[in-house]
């Protein structure tokens, strides 16, 4: 293992020997003020002068990478940290299988790699922009701290991609790094690159859904890029994945706590019918059918992030050895896939058809299937909470063709259970499947901030455990004495 020492003598902590790489250090130092300006303009609104109990990555060793302390967000040390280099690593798939991994960008794959790194980089600041107003309605200091933790780490993930662009892609890499600070989530003129990253995150249930579903797309894409034959990209993604796990925990656990509180309040009030929505809302909690609608929305938006089911882009990046499959090295096949097929769904003549397609062209579909399997674990946990409360309601993932804007189902109208609908019946019924304006207004009406340590808003249960094993009344954000 090489390169696990972290340097602290530059303004950018790193384990890539930046102090002896003056060209890249200079380029990053030049980029830094623009980043700080962006963070102040488009990062979390308010709370910038307050001490937040954050973990900072200080090295990349398995046990010691996260230290917790009070930090003001703009002073968080956004470092460039790559997982240690594995000696003798070879390219695990595609036409170059078995060859030593590349430490420099191969000329013929330069634009392909740059495109993937730019898309990955673009999502990181986008998510911070989407979440920027949430601090002022946090349901507790614990949740506020988790939001800011996710935000600073997404900021660090942007740094990670910017490092790759600056170090390996010369002047066009520098231009791309600057553009990453210019596009803006939801902007008409210069939106973020992928659909879901231009949606708003107006309330905390949306935030939990986003971190449960969209951060999980992040996990899958990073796992696929971690297989890359371009070793610096692989190492960068491997380290990012260690941080990503907490983001999905925030989402899955957040949704679970919302469900738990709803069930508790229903039982307390003697309401057994989960569809008695008005009565349940009068208790000041979010009814389970509305939570299901939010799941339908965020899952379908996240499925679009995998691209089309049939994709020559995906086939090309795989064959080139640039982007692999989820846990590529654990799969038992030839890792070339030229003679293999994969089952896909296709929408044609208003019908859903099962087909076998060339495996190489179906790689987006395969990663998406792996994502769905991974997501099912959260659904199981949420249903366990409902079951424990003895309430008769089953949360389900909607059918993959429901509410899609990318791929074979983009022109289809399909219900969450997989029935093909006419446009007329979709227009009549979609408010049963997706959150309506009234649903959103109701959720927003609950978003009053709570800032007493150890106290939680009425619509969400307390977590089972504190962060870093802190006690229940720990002051995660020093909001009162800043």
> Contact residues for ligand BYC (CB under 6 A)?
116, 119-120, 123-124, 127, 154, 194-195, 214-215, 217-218, 221, 304-308, 311, 313-314, 323, 364, 406
- For residue 241, what is the enclosing H or E element? helix 231-269
Q: Which is nearer to ligand BYC, 1 or 245 (CB)?
A: 245
Q: Which is nearer to ligand BYC, 261 or 368 (CB)?
A: 368
Q: Which is nearer to ligand BYC, 243 or 287 (CB)?
A: 243
What is d(CA 295, CA 471) in angstroms, rounded to the nearest whole number? 31
Least distance CB 193 / ligand BYC (angstroms) = 6
Angle, vertex CA 238, rays to CA 234 and CA 243, nearest 5: 145
Contact (CB, 8 A) for 274 and 393: yes
**Sequence-distant (≥ 6) Cβ neighbours of residue 70 within 8 angstroms:** 51, 52, 53, 54, 478
Nearer to ligand BYC, 21 or 369 (CB): 369
Kindly state the smallest distance separating residue 423's Cβ from ligand BYC, in Å.
23
C-alpha 316/C-alpha 320 separation (Å) is: 6
Find the shortest distance in angstroms from Cβ 372 to ligand BYC. Answer: 15
- Of the pair 262, 362, the CB lying nearest ligand BYC is at 362
Rounded CA-CA distance 18/162 in Å is: 14
> Which residue lies nearer to ligand BYC by CB, 206 or 214?
214
Closer CB to ligand BYC, 211 or 292, in the complex: 211
Closest to ligand BYC by CB, 220 vs 288, is 220
Pairing relationship of beta strands 341-348 and 351-358 according to DSSP bridges: antiparallel
Instruction: Report the first-to-last Cα separation within the chain, whole angstroms.
Output: 43
The DSSP bridge partners found for residue 398 are: none
**CB 313 to ligand BYC: min, Å:** 3
Residue 354 CA to residue 342 CA, distance in Å, equals 11
CB of residue 65 vs ligand BYC: minimum separation in angstroms?
19
- Nearer of residues 306 and 409 to ligand BYC, judged by Cβ: 306
448: Cβ contacts below 8 Å, ≥ 6 apart = 137, 457
As a whole number of angstroms, the distance between CA 75 and CA 254 comes to 27
- Give me the least distance between CB of 128 and ligand BYC, in Å please: 8
> Minimum CB separation from ligand BYC for residue 152, in Å?
12
Nearer to ligand BYC, 335 or 366 (CB): 366
Of the candidates 236, 233, 235, 238, which has an alpha carbon nearest to the alpha carbon of residue 106? Answer: 233
> How far from the centroid of its chain's Cα atoms is residue 114's Cα?
20
Provide, rounded to whole angstroms, the least separation between the CB of residue 427 and ligand BYC.
24
> For the chain, how are helix, strand and coil distributed in percent, rounded to 5?
50, 10, 40
Which of 109, 77, 76 lies closest to 95 in space, CA to CA? 109
Please state the closest distance from residue 389 (CB atom) to ligand BYC, in A.
30
Nearest approach in angstroms of CB 82 to ligand BYC is 17
Q: How far apart are CA 167 and CA 161, in angstroms?
A: 10
Helix, strand counts (H, E) of the chain = 13, 4
């Amino acid at each position: 293992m090489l390169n696990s020492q972290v340097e602290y003598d530059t303004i950018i902590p790193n384990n890539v020997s930046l102090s002896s790489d003056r060209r890249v250090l200079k380029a990053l130092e030049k980029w830094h003020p623009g980043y700080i300006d962006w963070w102040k303009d488009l990062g979390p609104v308010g709370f910038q002068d307050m001490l937040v109990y954050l973990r900072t990555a200080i090295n990349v060793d398995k046990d010691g990478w996260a230290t917790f302390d009070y930090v003001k967000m703009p002073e968080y040390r956004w470092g460039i940290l790559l997982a240690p280099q594995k000696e003798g690593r070879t390219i695990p798939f595609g036409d170059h299988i078995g060859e030593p991994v590349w430490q420099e960008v191969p000329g013929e794959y330069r634009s392909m790699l740059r495109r993937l790194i730019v898309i990955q980089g673009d999502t990181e600041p986008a998510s911070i922009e989407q979440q920027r107003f949430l601090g002022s309605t946090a349901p507790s200091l614990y949740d506020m701290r988790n939001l800011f933790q996710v935000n600073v780490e997404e900021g660090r993930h942007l740094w990670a991609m910017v490092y790759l662009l600056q170090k390996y892609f010369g002047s066009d890499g520098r231009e791309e790094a600057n553009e990453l600070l210019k596009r803006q989530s939801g902007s008409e003129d210069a939106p973020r690159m992928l659909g879901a990253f231009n949606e708003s995150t107006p309330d905390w249930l949306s935030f939990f859904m986003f971190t449960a579903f969209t951060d999980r797309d992040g996990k899958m894409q990073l796992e696929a890029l971690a297989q890359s034959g371009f070793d610096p990209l692989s190492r960068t993604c491997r380290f990012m994945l260690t941080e990503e796990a907490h983001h999905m925990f925030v989402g899955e656990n957040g949704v679970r706590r919302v469900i738990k509180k709803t069930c508790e309040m229903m039982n307390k009030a003697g309401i057994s019918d989960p569809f008695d929505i008005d009565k349940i809302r009068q208790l000041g909690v979010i009814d389970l059918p509305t939570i299901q609608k939010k799941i339908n929305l965020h899952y379908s938006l996240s499925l679009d992030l995998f691209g089309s089911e049939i994709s020559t882009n995906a086939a090309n990046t795989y064959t080139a050895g640039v982007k692999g499959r989820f846990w590529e090295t654990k799969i038992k096949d030839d890792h070339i896939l030229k003679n293999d097929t994969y089952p896909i769904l296709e929408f044609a003549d208003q019908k859903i058809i099962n087909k076998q397609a060339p495996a190489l062209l179906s790689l987006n579909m395969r990663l998406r299937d792996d994502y769905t399997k991974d997501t099912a674990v959260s659904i199981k946990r949420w249903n366990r909470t409902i079951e424990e409360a003895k309430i008769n309601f089953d949360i389900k993932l909607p059918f993959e063709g429901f509410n899609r804007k990318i791929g074979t189902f983009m022109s289809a109208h399909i219900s969450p259970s997989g029935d093909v609908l006419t446009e007329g019946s979709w227009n009549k019924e979609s408010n049963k499947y997706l959150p309506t304006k009234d649903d959103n207004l109701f959720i927003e009406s609950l978003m009053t901030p709570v800032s007493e340590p150890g106290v939680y808003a009425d619509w969400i249960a307390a977590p089972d455990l504190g962060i870093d094993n802190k006690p229940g009344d720990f002051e995660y954000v020093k909001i009162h004495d800043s």
